[in-house]
């Protein structure tokens, strides 16, 4: 909107005492809404940290999920971040139990005339979910995109998508093959590891932290090298235990995810309410003079509290969008 358009806008103009009352009322309500939103955001952060702690405990063997207690005996893993692991577990590099970035040359000629799901970065979430609604002819996707198939695991490699946990286990991919952003690493588990268990390993905070430390490239377009992925040490319990861990984490994280979703929905509703309240008050649909006159004096907010929670959310989105923009630019190149 330019200055001329803004200057020609017609606004409701109440008497000055009413303007003062409106400002007082809206400041009072805005402060309370912000406080409640901050409380909900802190709750979400605690839930996310608890979710990570559960995954770490189960995947690193700190507890036996079948009993809820530690294993009877442990041994040194030889990996600093992993510490000790249950005595009967193995620790192997990821490339020993999964193929990394398999070649599309393996696709039979008969399938190359079909259709496949297309997954750009924005269709893959940080919670393991993905939107597989876009299906295109394979001939349109064969060149310039990353190949994967049903049952593979994808992990974002560009910042900040990697740090934010973008990735998925493609168990329910509706087509046998798929193609997506060139900014995905693809993992294809062997029979030595349960696919869903390997996906849980890629959600570990240590995997994200150590991977971020190994990133290369220019600022804003740094990427996790394939060597980090291939050489990442994986704790490997027997297959039945892997399945038990997956089932335990699926059940527990589903409850946490539901609580996080509910808290985020409350935040969205509060923001909608605040927007609607401002509109109703400044257009005269709601008379707040009497209420404003009875409001108590409020202590000034701390500097940290003055930050708009909407701005925080928008900033996070912008950071991730910058990564997505870099992806789009690269994919647009011939």
262 in the same domain as 186: no
275 in the same domain as 174: no
Q: Angle at the Cα of 87 (from 86 to 88), degrees rounded to 5?
A: 95
Is 86 in contact with 63 (CB distance < 8 Å)? no
Euclidean distance between CA atoms 19 and 81, whole angstroms: 59
Per residue of the chain (334 residues), give pLDDT as tens.
667 676 667 677 888 989 999 999 999 999 999 999 999 999 999 999 999 999 999 999 999 999 999 999 999 999 999 999 999 999 999 999 999 999 999 998 888 899 999 999 999 999 999 999 999 999 999 999 999 999 999 999 999 999 999 999 999 999 999 999 999 999 999 999 999 999 999 999 999 999 999 999 988 789 999 999 999 999 999 999 999 999 999 999 999 999 999 999 999 999 999 999 999 999 889 999 999 898 887 776 665 555 554 544 444 444 444 444 444 444 444 3
Euclidean distance between CA atoms 282 and 19, whole angstroms: 9
Euclidean distance between CA atoms 40 and 37, whole angstroms: 5
Structure-token match 């799901």, residue found: 117
Q: Six-digit token pair at 316? A: 């996070």
Q: Does 102 map to a domain?
A: yes
Q: Does 1 map to a domain?
A: no
Euclidean distance between CA atoms 146 and 7, whole angstroms: 50
Q: What are phi and psi of 282, to 5 degrees?
A: -75, -15
Spatial CA neighbour of 193 closest among 147, 232, 251: 232
154 in the same domain as 72: no
260 in the same domain as 132: no
Three-state SS at 126: coil
Structure-token match 């995109």, residue found: 145
Euclidean distance between CA atoms 266 and 127, whole angstroms: 19
End residue of a domain, out of 214, 236, 258: 236
Euclidean distance between CA atoms 118 and 139, whole angstroms: 12
pTM: 0.81
Euclidean distance between CA atoms 25 and 19, whole angstroms: 10
Give the range of the structural domain holding residue 285, as residue numbers without chain letter: 15-89+237-298
210 in the same domain as 231: yes
Total number of domains constituting the chain? 2
* Residues ≥6 apart with Cβ < 8 Å to 273: 33
24 in the same domain as 142: no
Euclidean distance between CA atoms 287 and 29, whole angstroms: 14
CATH of the domain at 191: 3.90.220.20
End residue of a domain, out of 236, 256, 276: 236
End residue of a domain, out of 182, 208, 236: 236
């Amino acid at each position: 909107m330019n200055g001329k358009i803004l200057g020609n806008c017609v606004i409701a103009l109440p008497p000055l005492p009413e303007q003062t009352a409106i400002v007082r009322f809206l400041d009072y309500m805005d402060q309370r809404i912000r406080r409640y939103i901050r409380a909900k955001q802190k709750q979400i952060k605690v839930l996310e940290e608890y979710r990570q702690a559960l995954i770490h405990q189960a995947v690193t063997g700190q507890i036996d999920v079948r009993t809820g207690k530690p294993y009877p005996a442990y041994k040194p893993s030889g990996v600093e971040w992993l510490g000790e692991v249950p005595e009967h577990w193995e620790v192997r590099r990821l490339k020993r139990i999964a193929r990394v970035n398999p070649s599309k040359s393996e696709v039979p000629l008969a399938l190359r005339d079909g259709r496949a799901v297309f997954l750009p970065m924005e269709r893959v979430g940080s919670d393991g979910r993905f939107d597989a609604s876009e299906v295109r002819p394979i001939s349109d996707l064969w060149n310039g995109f990353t190949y994967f198939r049903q049952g593979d695991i994808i992990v974002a490699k560009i910042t900040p998508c990697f740090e934010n946990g973008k990735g998925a286990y493609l168990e329910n991919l509706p087509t046998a093959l798929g193609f997506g952003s060139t900014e995905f690493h693809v993992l294809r588990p062997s029979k030595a590891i349960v696919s869903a268990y390997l996906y849980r390993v890629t959600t570990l905070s240590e995997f994200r932290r150590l991977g971020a430390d190994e990133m290369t490239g220019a600022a804003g377009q740094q990427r996790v090298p394939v060597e980090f992925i291939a050489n990442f040490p994986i704790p490997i319990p027997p297959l039945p235990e892997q399945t038990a861990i997956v089932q335990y984490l699926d059940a527990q994280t589903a409850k946490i995810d539901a609580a996080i979703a509910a808290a985020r929905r409350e935040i969205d509703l509060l923001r909608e309410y605040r927007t609607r309240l401002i509109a109703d008050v400044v257009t005269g649909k709601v008379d707040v003079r009497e209420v404003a006159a009875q409001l108590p004096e409020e202590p000034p907010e701390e500097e940290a509290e003055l930050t708009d929670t909407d701005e925080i959310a928008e900033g996070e989105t912008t950071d991730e969008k910058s990564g997505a923009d870099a992806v789009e630019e690269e994919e647009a190149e011939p």
